Amino acid sequence: MDKLMDLGHMDNYYEQIVKKKFTANQLMTIVMGICGIVLVIVLCVFFSKRIPALVPVSLIALGVGVWLIYTLIKNSGVEYEYTFVMGEMRIERIKGKSKRRKITAFDVKDIDDLGKYIDRETGKRNVDPSKFGVVLHAEENDVNLNTYYLVIHDKIRHKRALITLTPNNTTLEKIRPFLSVELKKKYLKLMKEEEKNAVKAPAETAVNDN
């Protein structure tokens, strides 16, 4: 969901919501967690039938287990909100449609570098996260070819940081005017490459269909 608003006739406020998409391993971890909780509940009920004194324990385990499963499923729904306001980007993580936590805030003019996080040809990262003391994630999926990285000056921690995110075209266009001359050139080069890939992809699909 994208939302564009005007502040006093100025087109300087924009919000983008990005829904987190889990990898197969992350989904497996959630499923395994639920299965583990269910197993504990089943064992408690099984033993309470043989040992009456364990009935209160099984009831408590049942209640706690149901609550844990509910919490696990609810909190597995993660969204990121990118808010652009007058040259500043603010990013928050939203869990379960209710719990908010500010991830970062930074001035776009102070971005040191930007680019695609994953190289389309090699599948490898274009930047090494280990070189940064602070690494932040606010992307749809860190293996998504549409994931970008930014090297920023984080206002929350007051440190230089690497952040990954999945901006749409409008968010990118909001950022562009504030970039340095060199980064504007890099941005335009990236956009040209994306246009070529967008043209190339349908052509490859048509060949494969035939």
**56 and 123 together in one domain:** no
Cα–Cα nearest to 91, from 190, 20, 173, 5 = 20
Q: Are 154 and 117 within one domain? A: yes
d(CA 56, CA 42): 14
- Out of 4-8, 79-83, 171-175, which region has the weakest mean confidence (pLDDT)? 4-8
Confidence at 9, pLDDT banded by 50, 70, 90: very low
- Calpha distance 206→132 (Å, rounded): 42
Domain identity same for 162 and 176: yes
Note whether 115 and 162 are same-domain residues: yes
User: Does residue 110 share a domain with residue 159?
Assistant: yes
pLDDT of residue 151: 98
Looking at residue 203, what is its pLDDT? 45
CB 126 within 8 A of CB 149: yes
Same domain, 9 and 28: no
Domain identity same for 90 and 194: yes
- Separation of alpha carbons 8 and 66, rounded Å: 49
Regarding whether 113 and 48 lie in a shared domain, the answer is no
Higher pLDDT, 210 or 116: 116
Task: Mark whether 34 and 99 lie in a shared domain.
Answer: no
Residue 203 lies in a domain: no
What is the rounded average pLDDT of the residues 78-100? 91
Q: Does 128 fall in a domain?
A: yes
Question: In this structure, is residue 204 part of a structural domain?
Answer: no
Sheet holding 159-165, edge to edge: 113-116, 148-154, 159-165, 134-138
Find the domain containing 94 and state its range.
Answer: 2-20+77-198
Do 148 and 183 contact (CB within 8 A), yes or no?
A: no
**Cα separation of 151 and 153, whole Å?**
7
> How far apart are the C-alpha atoms of 62 and 41, rounded to whole Å?
6
Q: Is residue 84 part of a domain?
A: yes
Mean pLDDT, rounded, for 62-84: 79
Query: Is the domain of 31 the same as that of 14?
Result: no
Is residue 116, in this structure, part of any structural domain at all?
yes
Q: What is the pLDDT of residues 156-180, one digit of tens each?
A: 999 999 999 999 999 999 999 999 9
Specify whether 97 is located in the same domain as 172.
yes
Mean pLDDT of the chain: 83
Q: Looking at 6-15, 46-55, 95-104, which range is the least confident one?
A: 6-15
Count of structural domains, the chain: 2
Same domain for 48 and 133, yes or no, is no
How far does CA 33 lie from the centroid of its chain?
A: 21
